[in-house]
Structure 1
Amino acid sequence: MCGRPVSEHERDVRFRLPDPVFHSPEQHRAEGSWLSDPDPNVAALMQIPDISPFVRALLPVRLDGGHALRFGVWIAIHADELQRAAAVWNRPAYSALKITGYLANRVEPWGLFAVPVDLAVVNPDHTPYCVSSPDPLFNDVLTQEWPHSILADLR
C-alpha cells in the first residue's frame, strides 16, 4: 500500500548466541556446555559453564500500520529455571511455562541489554515470548507501537 516491499514492514531478527557466549573465547563449544540441539541456531536451551543457562525467547515489537518486528533473543535464567523448562519443553505442561530472567542480547535501536524480563508461552508451537518487564524502556518496547523508521537501524 505504501510502495515499500513487505520485507520492510515485517522482519525477524534472530540472535545465534547470547552476547556473553558470543564474546567468550570458546563460545558454545566450551567444555561442559550443553545445548538442546548441537546447532545453536536451532537450540532453544543452553547451559554454558561459568557464564549462565539460557532460554531462547521471542521479543515482539509492534510497528505502525499493524506490522511487526520479531527478535529471537536469548534470556539468561537461573539453573533451576533451566531444569524446570527442560522438564516440560515437549510436554503438555509447556503451555503453562513462565520464566523470569535477563535479556542476554543487546537489542537495538534501544540499547537494551541485561534488563529483567518475564516470559510466558503464548503459543505452544513457539518458544516463550517476552511479555513484560519492570524496566520502563523494555516495557515500552513491549507495549507501544513504533514507527517503521526503527527498521533502518537494523540494516
Structure 2
Amino acid sequence: MPTETCPTCGRPTDAHDRHIRFQLPTPLYDLPDWEQLPGLWMSHQTPTESVMLQADGFGAFVRALLPVQLEGGHKLTYGVWVGVHPDQLQQAFAVWWDDSPAYLDLRLDGRLANRIDPWDLLGVPVVATVLDQDTTPVCTSSDDPLLTRVLAETWPHDEALP
C-alpha cells in the first residue's frame, strides 16, 4: 500500500500530527548508567511511563506537553520533562491523580529539560499549566523569546519536522 505524502513538504503524512515522548530529561539520558543514580525516584516502573522523577544531583522533573503548530493544521506534540523545584514536585504529586479541582490549579514554573530540535531549547524557562482535568500539563508560556515563538507561531514543515 503506497504511503500518502504531504502536499506541503513531500514527507509521508504519518510524519505529521505525532506525539514524541522523551524517555528521560536530557542530562540523565546522556548518562550511561542513569539507572544507578543515587536517590533516583520515578512515579512509575519505567521512565517512559513515569510522569515525575527525581535524582540526587540532577533535580526534580515533571512531564508536560509541548505543542508545536504546523502549517496545514498539523501539530507535533512533544512529551517533555520540565525541571522544577522539589517543592513543586511534591505539589504536583499531591494533586496529579486527584479528581478534585486542585489539579486544575497546578502551575509549574521550571526549565525545559529536553533538547527540542531544531530549536535547541534545553534549559530555557517554561510555564506548564493544566488545561484539562484529564490531561498532562501543557507548556503555555515562557520568558524565552524563542520558546515563546515556538508555542505561538505556526511553523513550516521543513523547519519543524525532525
Asked whether the two chains share a fold, i.e. TM above 0.5, the reply is yes
The equivalent position to 1:40 in structure 2, one of 47, 50, 70, is 47
**Counterpart residue identity of residue 103, structure 2:** Y
Offset of 1:25 from its aligned partner? 4.4
- Alignment-derived partner of residue 132 in structure 1: 141
The equivalent position to 2:74 in structure 1, one of 35, 52, 67, is 67
Alignment partners' CA distance in 2, 1:144 and 1:29: 40
Alignment partners' CA distance in 1, 2:121 and 2:133: 26
Alignment partners' CA distance in 2, 1:55 and 1:24: 19
Moved more, 26-35 or 107-116: 26-35
Question: Over alpha carbons, which structure has the higher Rg?
Answer: 2
SS at match of 2:120: coil
Offset of 1:115 from its aligned partner? 0.2
- Alignment-derived partner of residue 8 in structure 1: 15
The equivalent position to 2:123 in structure 1, one of 76, 94, 114, is 114
Alignment partners' CA distance in 1, 2:121 and 2:84: 17
CA contact (8 A) 1:28 1:48 kept: no
SS at match of 2:146: helix
Residue identity (%) = 45
Aligned pair in 2 of structure 1 residues 28, 128: CA closer, same or farther (>3 Å)? farther
Offset of 1:106 from its aligned partner? 0.5
SS at match of 2:94: helix
SS at match of 2:28: helix
**Counterpart residue identity of residue 55, structure 1:** V
SS at match of 2:140: strand
CA contact (8 A) 2:80 2:114 kept: yes
Structure 1 gaps of 5+ residues are none
Structure 2 gaps of 5+ residues are 1-5
SS at match of 2:91: helix
- Alignment-derived partner of residue 83 in structure 1: 90
Q: Normalized against structure 1, the TM-score is what?
A: 0.92
Deviations 1:38-85 (A, max 9, x none): 111010000111111000110000001111011111010001100110
Alignment partners' CA distance in 1, 2:20 and 2:129: 20
Alignment partners' CA distance in 2, 1:9 and 1:42: 23
Alignment of 1:22-41 (within 5 A): 22-41=29-48
Offset of 1:4 from its aligned partner? 5.8
- Alignment-derived partner of residue 3 in structure 2: none
